[in-house]
Amino acid sequence: MFFPATKYVFGRGVENKVAEELDAFGMKKPLVVYGKGSVIKSGLLDRVRKSLDNAGIRYAELGGVQPNPVDSKVYEGIEIAKREGIDSVLAVGGGSSIDTAKAIAAAIPYDGDFWDFFCGKSKVKKALPVGVVLTIPAAGSEGSGNTVITKLDGLHKLGMGSDVLRPKFALMNPELTFTLPPYQTAAGITDMMAHIMERYFSNTPEVEITDRIAEGLLKAIITEAPKIIAEPENYDARANIMWSGTLAHNGVCSGGREEDWATHGLEHELSAVYDVTHGAGLAVMFPAWMTYALQENPGKLAQFARRVFDIDEDDDYKAADEGIEKLKKFLSSIGMPVSMKELGIENPDVKLLAEKVTENKGEVFGNYIRINRDIAEKIYCIAAQ
C-alpha cells in the first residue's frame, strides 16, 4: 500500500503560503516546532510568525529542537500542546523538527506514553495533522510517515511510522537552503542517498521499475551535489537536491520490495553514542556495510556499480568492489568522512556498538544480508579502519 498523501508546494517564496495551507487543512491552532539555529538567525521563523499573526492564526511554540532529536523535547511539546489546546503541529526546519512534530502529533490523541509507539508497544492510529516549512533537505521526513527519536535514558535511537503521520503539506523553497553550511549540505545528500540505498539493496527479484527510479535518483544526486558544493546559491541544483530528498523517502523507491535498513540501525548507535551528524555517520557506515555484504551477496551491489557508476565489468565481485570505491570517492569529494577516524572517533568501542545495535534492532537484523552481533562488530571494525 502506498498512500503518498502530502501536498508539496515547491518554489521561490512558498513559505509565505503557510497561513493559507494551514487554513486549507483546517489547522486552526498549531504548535510551531523549530530548532535553535538557522531558522531563527535567517529570520524565517519571524516571517512565519508574522504570516500567522497577519492571518489571525493563534499558535503556541516549541523551540530548541536539536539534531538527533530527543524524547525530553517531545514531552515538553506534549505538555505545551495540551496546555494550549493546540489542534495541529507545524514544523519549521529539517528532519529533527519534523520528527519531533510527528511524535507530538501522535502523542496527543493517545492515552499512554508516546514512547510506546517507538518501542513497539502500540501502533499510531490517529494523529494531529502536521504541516512543514522545510529548510534542510536530508531526512525526507516532509514526505514520509516516519519519525526517529532518541530516548535519553539509555540512548535508544528508534524509529516508527504510520501513514497518518505523513505531513498534510510541505512548503519547499530551495532558496531557504542556500545558507546551509557545506558539511550539513553534504550530510543531507548522504542521508538521502542512504534512504534510497536502504530500499535498493533488496533480495526481492523483478522490481525493475523501482530499481530504475532508485538508480536514476542516485545518478541525479551524484550529478547535482558537486554543483551545490561549488556554488551554494545555485537554485536549480538546490531544487533538484531538495526534491530528491523527498522522493528518496516518500515511498516511491519502495514499491513492492523488502527493504534493508541495517545500515541506518548501525549508524543510529554511532549517533547515539558519539553524537555524530546522522548523514556523516551514514557516509562511514554505508561503505562499511557494503564491504561486508560484498562477501555474502554481491549481486545487487554489482548492479548498483554498473548502473549508478557506469562500471563496465562482467565479474559481479569486482564490479561491486569498484562501485564501493567510487561511492567512497564521491562521498569524500563532497567533504564527507568515510571512516570512523575521519569522523573523529579514534578508538571506537565496537563491542558496545554491536551490543546496542542488536539490543535495539533485534538479535538478527537486516534483509539483504542478515546481521547478528558478531557481524555487526565486524562491520564496525571495517568502519573503524
Contact (CB, 8 A) for 2 and 30: no
Give the chain's end-to-end CA distance (angstroms, integer): 41
Q: What minimum distance in Å lies between the beta carbon of 142 and its own copies?
A: 12
Handedness of CA 260, 262, 268, 274 (dihedral sign): negative
Q: What minimum distance in Å lies between the beta carbon of 300 and its own copies?
A: 16
d(CA 372, CA 380): 12
Strand partners, 147: 160
Residue (50 or 212) nearer to its own copies, CB: 212
Q: What minimum distance in Å lies between the beta carbon of 216 and its own copies?
A: 3
Residue (162 or 339) nearer to its own copies, CB: 162
Q: What minimum distance in Å lies between the beta carbon of 91 and its own copies?
A: 19
Q: What minimum distance in Å lies between the beta carbon of 169 and its own copies?
A: 9
Q: What minimum distance in Å lies between the beta carbon of 194 and its own copies?
A: 17
Element (H, E) at 73: helix 71-84
Residue (210 or 263) nearer to its own copies, CB: 210
Residue (5 or 352) nearer to its own copies, CB: 5
Q: What minimum distance in Å lies between the beta carbon of 247 and its own copies?
A: 7
d(CA 366, CA 332): 26
DSSP for 316-358, please give it: HHHHHHHHHHHHHHHHHHTT---STTTTT-SS--HHHHHHHHH
d(CA 25, CA 167): 11
Q: What minimum distance in Å lies between the beta carbon of 367 and its own copies?
A: 18
Q: How far is CA 122 from CA 88, 98, 162, 341, in A?
A: 21, 21, 12, 39
Q: What minimum distance in Å lies between the beta carbon of 48 and its own copies?
A: 19
d(CA 301, CA 263): 14
Residue (151 or 227) nearer to its own copies, CB: 227
Residue (27 or 217) nearer to its own copies, CB: 217
Residues 6+ apart with CB under 8 A from 106: 114, 117, 124, 127, 147, 162, 165
Contact (CB, 8 A) for 373 and 380: no
275: left (phi over 0), alpha (psi -120 to 50) or beta: left
Question: By three-state DSSP, how is residue 58 classified?
Answer: coil
Helices 182-200 and 208-230: crossing angle in degrees, nearest 10, is 170
Residue (3 or 36) nearer to its own copies, CB: 3
Contact (CB, 8 A) for 362 and 266: no
- Interaction site with its own copies (CB under 8 A): 1-10, 205-213, 215-217, 219-221, 223-224, 236-237, 239-240, 243-244, 247, 252, 255-256
Residue (79 or 233) nearer to its own copies, CB: 233
- Please tell me what DSSP assigns to residue 340: T
Residue (252 or 262) nearer to its own copies, CB: 252
Whose cell is 505523513? That residue is: 166
